[in-house]
Amino acid sequence: MANLARVSHLYKFHAIDGTRQPVLSDVGFEVGGGEFVCIMGPSGSGKSTLLQLLSGLDEADGGSIELAGKSLADQSDRERTLLRRRTIGHVFQFFNLLPNLTVLENVALPLAIAGVRVAEQAAPVEKLLARFGLAHKHQAFPHQLSGGEMQRVSIARALAGGQPLLLCDEPTGNLSQKAGLEVMQLLRETVEQDHRSVLLVTHNPRDATFADRILFLVDGNLRDEQGLRGPGISVERVHQALSALSI
Ligand SMILES: Nc1ncnc2c1ncn2[C@@H]1O[C@H](COP(=O)(O)OP(=O)(O)O)[C@@H](O)[C@H]1O
Ligand SMILES: [Mg+2]
């Protein structure tokens, strides 16, 4: 399967406590088409930094990133922005829904941005909302929803955008156990049914069990020595791997 993301020899330094310290050090991995990859690491290990480099919110200090087979370094600023916009959808810990738009309008946003006419936005969006158990909420505003509902809206929005790769940063970090489980099941479903790829970063072992592969970010290095392959890895195996790595 063609790689949707390929990261090689990636470095990122941050000024921490007044000194320049490596947050990511020679990090490399790939995410294949239709693959669900989880990167686990404790708080402060650089997970969000890594996703920000992929999504272009921050710049690497070394190494390279390819999206959909194209190296970001070879592109003009404009091409790079378009490549990212076409390739990457986002799911955030705090949902990032627009508060003044309804559920329907939030999910339709990527279609509006892509220039789809208003009359043609409703049908695909209503279909996604029905699938996600949110049809009755289509006219609600984000503040009228539970956390689990907000996250389902944000996954529906990411699917509406049609990008093949979803970057998910602690998507259950702000949810109850039950709502978090539902969100993880939906993410797995988008891999199985919609053939999207998911790159999940989390410190939650339960969430990691939904992935095809689990990698560990420890002291800036990415480790794959545990050979954890899924889906359906037991949560005990994930805990064992974490304690073997002392994280
Ligand atoms: N923009 C920034 N400027 C300086 N330090 C940062 C910045 N972003 C993150 N850091 C530091 O880099 C380290 C990794 O942060 P982060 O990627 O947010 O970790 P995680 O998402 O795994 O919790 C932390 O020590 C954090 O304080
Ligand atoms: Mg983070």
One-character DSSP codes across 82-104: HHHHHHEEEE-TT----TTS-HH
Per-residue confidence at 164, pLDDT binned at 50, 70, 90?
Answer: very high
Tell me which ligand sits closest to the C-alpha of residue 49: 1
Q: How many CB atoms lie within 10 A of CB 153?
A: 26
In the chain, % of residues over pLDDT 70: 100
Contacts of 14 (CB under 8 A, 6+ apart): 20, 21, 23, 49
Q: Where are the alpha helices (DSSP H) in the chain?
A: 47-55, 77-87, 103-113, 118-131, 147-160, 177-192, 205-208, 235-244
pTM, rounded to two decimals = 0.95
- Fold designation for 3-244: Rossmann fold (3.40.50)
Which tens digits make up the pLDDT trace of 215-242?
A: 999 999 999 877 788 888 999 999 999 9
Nearest CA to ligand 1 atom 25: 44
What residue ranges do the domains of the chain occupy?
A: 3-244
Q: Is the predicted pLDDT of residue 1 greater than 70, yes or no?
A: no
Ligand 1: which residues within 6 Å by Cβ? 14-16, 23, 41, 43-49
Q: Mean pLDDT for the chain?
A: 94
Q: What is the mean pLDDT of residues 201-227?
A: 93
